[in-house]
Structure 1
Amino acid sequence: MMDTVLDAAARTFIQVTEVWVPQDGKLVLASGNYGDLDAFKAASGKESFAKGEGLPGKAWADARPVVLKGFENSYFKRAEAAKEAGLTSGVAIPVFAGDELKAVLTVLCGDDDERIGAIEVWTEADGVLKLDDGYYGAAKQFEWVSQHTQFPRGQGLPGGVWAASTPMLMRDLGSGYKFIRAESAGKAGLTTGLGLPVPVPGGDVFILTLLSALGTPIARRFEIWDARAATMGHSNEAVLIDGICEREGKLWDDENPRRATAWQGRIGRVLGSGQPVVESDGAGLPAGYASIVALPIHVGGALSHIVAWYR
């Protein structure tokens, strides 16, 4: 049953994930997961971005998450290679520690009639969160509902993240009373939500939400690690505080918490470096998973949490 669940979800909502890091005044590729898109991987390995250039460079210059729904005739530098690979849309998430850019995480998607999910950016305006932009694949009705939804502080997944300044996981989106858009989420087949703050210089509020469907999941496993004790000098560890897996059930134990030590394993590398990690070789990952994305969140200039998702 375990393998059947994994094999049934071979098509994923996100097709490419990349980490771009600053080096000598430009962003260079640190790591990426390209699946079987070898030609696009090769094109990306030759690329770099000045501030304001391309999708990663725009997120750096604008100091905010950026959604780009169409690559053709846009500022996307790898448009020809992306077209050949069937990639049409992308989201760039800058990772700032105070005013310092640590990295830019980019996720790239293809547009077809089968892929359903949501990558949303919410921003504060007039005391509520409004949809800044998002990519939804074929979930057009859910996209319309989202465009006409606002969240006060503390309400729904985006509002909860805003109030707590911490990442949050939400289960059973289609039936959960806490998920404001439950009815439309259920119709779209969305099941799991991850929300996280995206701190940026200047203090503007940005919340990123990743909403995953069973048929074309963003991930099959999500984790949230608390790193605040490490950054306060009490330890060099992060503690797993929440997680969702479609086949394993609860991933953490409050009485015997799972811990990650700085520079040990993937979570430990994020804890030590403060930069995202993307890997696709599968070695050392929990059984049945081939790739991981681990993204740090810096609040007040210090590493606060690490969110990870596995496919």
Structure 2
Amino acid sequence: MSALAADIPTATFVEVTEVWVPKDGRLVWSSGNYGALDDFAAASEKQSFAKGEGLPGKAWEEARPVVLKGFDGSYFLRAEAARKAGLTSAVAMPIFAGSDLKAVVVVLCADDAVRTGAIEVWHEEAGVLMLDDGYYGAARHFEWVSQHTHFPRGQGLPGGVWAANAPMLMRDLGSGYRFIRADSAGKAGLTTGLGLPIAVPGGKTFVLTLLSARGTPIAHRFELWKTRSAGPDGAKEAVLTDGICQRQGPLWDDETETTVAAWQGPIGQVLGSGIPLVKFDSAAQTAGYASMVAVPIYRDGAVAHIVAWYY
């Protein structure tokens, strides 16, 4: 193991990430990373969901992100397999192009005394963003603060995403003046925030935030890409607009532009297909990481941004 790899914590806040896509009226497995949870992977890959069935089906039917903090006695169809794998909670994020469902991304977490982070869903109500629900692991005080916080348009990470209608990265959460909950974030050890606008039919406003702690991070590397036309033939490309890596620091600068064409590498595959991708290959690593997640962000029915994280 290299010195750089040794510097990266092995435990992450998220245990499993998977992508479900519609096929013949049901959601079927498309890609996923299950780490060492082989039995749960086997149970998942052969599963499918009708609209309204299970967690992916519920996110599809309700056309909104859904947080599920406990599986026992719930609508989660893989509860027994999840219990055996030590998984305790999940968040489902539907990806819509206009009214057309492209996929549902599901992340699953395990609960313990030290695992800290946050996956939050915010919704607009009476002109401000209110917490719809969230999973915080051991960050109980930060959870309480979040439940009692709201964001006008343009304020904090959720409000900034709302105003820009674009994904945002926010650094130094515990000391940054732009992060409204900085004091409680610092006490919880939260360092990096990623905010995503979630486009859903009907024009409702939802923002998903992923808040990462140094000891049990959401991911070790984050990237934001923006799509643009690449020539007179109407071809699209994605340009890296922001990024941060624990071992490399900032990934973007004004001097060197990084672009990918449609179908070029994992980011290009998401650009070309419009479908989220979870890539897991510990032998042939992607950018030096065993796994990555890349999610398209739609605006007006087209891919406007791609968000990627690596672990």
TM category, shorter: over 0.9
Does structure 1 residue 5 correspond to structure 2 residue 7? Answer: yes
One-letter amino acid matched to 1:285:
T
Alignment deviations for residues 48-97 of structure 1 (CA, whole Å, 9 cap, x no partner)? 00000000000000000000000000000000000000001000000000
One-letter amino acid matched to 2:46:
K
- 1:222-237 to 2 correspondences below 5 Å: 222-229=222-229, 234-237=234-237
- Where in structure 1 are there 5+ consecutive unaligned residues? none
Does structure 1 residue 129 correspond to structure 2 residue 129? Answer: yes
Alignment deviations for residues 133-159 of structure 1 (CA, whole Å, 9 cap, x no partner)? 000001000000000000000000000
Change (3 A) 1:38 1:284: closer
Hey, what does 1:107 align to over in structure 2?
107
Q: Quick one: distance in 2 between partners of 1:230 and 1:92?
A: 33
Does structure 1 residue 286 correspond to structure 2 residue 252? Answer: no
Identity over aligned residues, as a percent? Answer: 69
How far off is 1:234 after superposition?
4.8
- Secondary structure (helix, strand or coil) at the match of 2:268 reads helix
One-letter amino acid matched to 2:116:
I
| Contact 2:285 2:291 survives alignment (8 Å) | no
Q: How many residues align?
A: 308
- Secondary structure (helix, strand or coil) at the match of 1:267 reads helix
How far off is 1:39 after superposition?
0.5
- Where in structure 2 are there 5+ consecutive unaligned residues? none
- Secondary structure (helix, strand or coil) at the match of 2:57 reads helix
How far off is 1:3 after superposition?
2.0
User: Would you identify which runs of 4 or more consecutive aligned residues in structure 1 move more than 3 Å?
Assistant: 228-235
Q: Quick one: distance in 1 between partners of 2:102 and 2:270?
A: 11
| Contact 1:231 1:302 survives alignment (8 Å) | no
- TM-score under structure 2 length normalisation: 0.97
Hey, what does 1:174 align to over in structure 2?
174
How far off is 1:284 after superposition?
5.0
One-letter amino acid matched to 2:205:
V
**What value does the CA root-mean-square deviation take over the aligned residues?**
1.3
Change (3 A) 1:22 1:232: farther
Hey, what does 2:276 align to over in structure 1?
276
- 1:136-285 to 2 correspondences below 5 Å: 136-229=136-229, 234-282=234-282, 283=284, 285=286
Q: Quick one: distance in 1 between partners of 2:135 and 2:122?
A: 12
One-letter amino acid matched to 2:268:
G
| Contact 1:21 1:103 survives alignment (8 Å) | yes
- 1:82-97 to 2 correspondences below 5 Å: 82-97=82-97
| Contact 1:95 1:105 survives alignment (8 Å) | yes
